[in-house]
Structure 1
Amino acid sequence: MAQGENSLGVLLDANQVKEGVELKPYVTGFLLAHEMDWAEATAETYRHALTQFETYRADRGRPALNELLVKQYVRNLYLNRRSAAYIQRQLSVLRSFSAWAVEEGILPADPTRKIPMPKLSAEYRREALDEEEIDRLLNQIQITSFMDLRDYLLVSLIWRAATRLIELHRANIEDYVKKGDGGLLYLHGKGREEADSFVVIVPELVPALDRYIEMRGIVAPKAPLFISERPKKGARLSVRGIRGIVTYYLKKAGIKRKRLTAYSLRHTAATEALKNGADLKAVRDMMRHRSMNTTLKYDHMVRRIEKGAETFIKTRKQADLSQMDARKESK
């Protein structure tokens, strides 16, 4: 690298991303700088987010990349009613890119440093299904084909083992290992190609998973565990595809509460485990939380619903609805 240049071979300036300058070559350099550290899906997430930001910037004549522009971009996302989670992800990507650009001498200062992250509602993040809803959901999956079996396993691995959607997307055939009556599914953590943690496959799921792999036939160990039917049959099933499958069955089961998403099945695993007596350490291990404080939020919600102070207040009189029902029947 020549003196006075950064790793892209670009001569240093007070601000390389000036008005009218395209962001694309810098995005390429940013992604290349991290290609050894990130999985392909992670790199694609960053590329997509930065492309969206550059589209917004281009529509406004490509102003200089500074704090004012980032503030305007975030405000535009709010005006377009983007979710807090979406805005948080976009801003997180911009922060990572800006930190790299400052280090490379492409930007004089981080334009995202003083911009706060939107707060996510804890209740929204942890909305769970109840037992009756889980039964209704599973009853919608009538296993008559290979793809039905795949869908059953996807839903079951999220709510029985708290597996993340991205982890199911990255799972390979070789990541499933039999252990006694049950098994383990080794997981590829965020941004990593190697499997570095695992979830426990309960014995009840083993026959279905064994049958699914048997129906796959002879495939390479590193072949994707879950494959798509369309647009390219046999390709690795995308996170979007997994989300779509879960959402389809939720709607089919008539479960349409506003805050329920595919990710709610993972929250259901934590909630069900705690309600049925699992200790916090075991639930933390299952959820793979870095901090016990995150697991405690699930415990707090379960206790708040089942043993909140409201349940200790003595009922004086319950509404008598019999006369109202009789009046309705007489009409």
Structure 2
Amino acid sequence: MDKLIERFIHYLAVERGLAHNTLESYQRDLVQYVGFLEKNEIHDLNQTRRANLIAYLADLQRRGRATSTISRNLASMRAFYGFLLRDGMIDQDPTTNLESPKIEKRLPKVLSVQEVEALLDGPDYGTVAGIRDKAMLELLYATGIRVSELVSLNCSDVNLNMGFLKCYGKGSKERIIPLGSVALKSVSDYVMRSRNKLLRDQSEESLFLNHHGQRLSRQGFWKIIKKYAMAAAISKEITPHTLRHSFATHLLENGADLRAVQEMLGHADISTTQIYTHLTKSRLKEVYAKAHPRA
């Protein structure tokens, strides 16, 4: 069964061009599922039935997994069984007519403009690391790109003369995003004053480097943003996507077109972007409740 998973992941990478993180997610879900089957003495995917899948999903629920995680696992299994059925490696698809658990849509946590300013003012501009951190934070808030896209940027992806960056999102889809003047200055300062001091190998193409002169990791950035959130006394829960959510919400609150925000965020479906309109509506209700004398 492990070899079948490898074939499936290879298919997703080569034929579908899915991102590395997505491939890892599929593989992790399927390895855990196959492990569950083997514990229950099932060693052939042709032997699996609908009841086996329901038992696995129930096991995930018993272990306290979130509804979104269970739903994602089922999506991974659906894709896997569909691939095996098309290639004639199984006779039937046990995921047919199996319903996904309903996911409660939770509005993302966003920072106020004042909280964003406090966060972005945190880095020490007198240090090499501070100049780098300032550039990363300003760039995230200015463009709304994902953290994975931020750390994947190469120097050639940012055009400082024209004021835009090129990034590759889910499914390796390319998009061009304009840079605001503040972010542009911060990134220019980093390139001119800080990156060369972090650089160890002249052939290194990564834009943002760690203290070893190598590409900064997502985990490395996560530690950085948590440090500045704590220094800014921000009590809200901070995630790597917080500035992305704040970027989208603040744009819409100030009258930006939903389609334009969708394009900048790299959402394939506008329904994904529409969650931010729900957020702005809830904020408007709060403002109304506080400000109107007869609210």
TM-score, normalised via structure 1 length: 0.73
Q: Who is 1:6 aligned against? A: none
Q: Do the aligned residues in 1 keep the contact of 2:138 with 2:182 (CA within 8 Å)? A: no
Stretch moving more, 74-83 or 262-271: 74-83
Q: Do the aligned residues in 1 keep the contact of 2:29 with 2:73 (CA within 8 Å)? A: yes
Q: 1:285 aligns with which of 259, 263, 267?
A: 263
Aligned positions, number: 284
Q: Do the aligned residues in 1 keep the contact of 2:169 with 2:266 (CA within 8 Å)? A: no
Match of 2:160, SS state, is strand
Distance 1:118 1:245 in 2: 35
1:311 shift after superposition: 6.7
1:150 shift after superposition: 3.1
Q: Which has the higher contact order (CA 8 A, sep 6+)?
A: 2
Q: Counterparts in 2 of 1:161-310, with a 5 A limit? A: 161-180=143-162, 183-192=163-172, 196-214=174-192, 215-217=194-196, 219-220=202-203, 223-229=205-211, 233-257=212-236, 260-307=238-285, 310=289
Distance 1:216 1:41 in 2: 26
State the Cα deviation string for residues 54-109 of structure 1 (Å, max 9, x = none). Answer: 33334444464332222222222222222333333333222222211111222222
Larger Rg: 1
Stretch moving more, 270-279 or 302-311: 302-311
Name the aligned partner's letter for residue 315 of structure 1.
Answer: R
Q: Do the aligned residues in 1 keep the contact of 2:195 with 2:208 (CA within 8 Å)? A: no
Residue 47 (structure 1) aligned with residue 47 (structure 2): no
Distance 1:255 1:96 in 2: 40
Match of 1:185, SS state, is strand
Q: Counterparts in 2 of 1:137-148, with a 5 A limit? A: 137-148=119-130
Alpha carbons of structure 1 residues 162 and 25: separation in structure 2 relative to 1, 3 Å:
same
Q: Who is 1:93 aligned against? A: 76
RMSD (CA atoms): 3.0
1:263 shift after superposition: 1.3
Name the aligned partner's letter for residue 276 of structure 1.
Answer: N
Q: Which has the higher helix share?
A: 2
5+ residue gaps, structure 1: 1-22, 317-331
5+ residue gaps, structure 2: none
Name the aligned partner's letter for residue 66 of structure 2.
Answer: S
Q: Who is 2:65 aligned against? A: 82
Residue 56 (structure 1) aligned with residue 36 (structure 2): yes
1:252 shift after superposition: 4.2
Q: Do the aligned residues in 1 keep the contact of 2:33 with 2:56 (CA within 8 Å)? A: yes
Q: Who is 1:130 aligned against? A: 112
1:165 shift after superposition: 2.0
Distance 1:170 1:255 in 2: 27
Distance 2:220 2:36 in 1: 27
Q: Percent identity?
A: 25
Q: 1:66 aligns with which of 49, 60, 76?
A: 49
1:236 shift after superposition: 3.2
Stretch moving more, 151-160 or 301-310: 301-310
Alpha carbons of structure 1 residues 146 and 33: separation in structure 2 relative to 1, 3 Å:
same
Stretch moving more, 307-316 or 166-175: 307-316
TM-score, normalised via structure 2 length: 0.80
Distance 2:100 2:167 in 1: 29
Q: Who is 2:100 aligned against? A: 117
Q: Counterparts in 2 of 1:302-321, with a 5 A limit? A: 302-307=280-285, 310=289, 314-315=293-294
1:297 shift after superposition: 3.4
Q: 1:102 aligns with which of 77, 81, 85?
A: 85
Name the aligned partner's letter for residue 28 of structure 2.
Answer: H
State the Cα deviation string for residues 147-197 of structure 1 (Å, max 9, x = none). Answer: 3333333332222211112222332221111244xx2111112132xx611
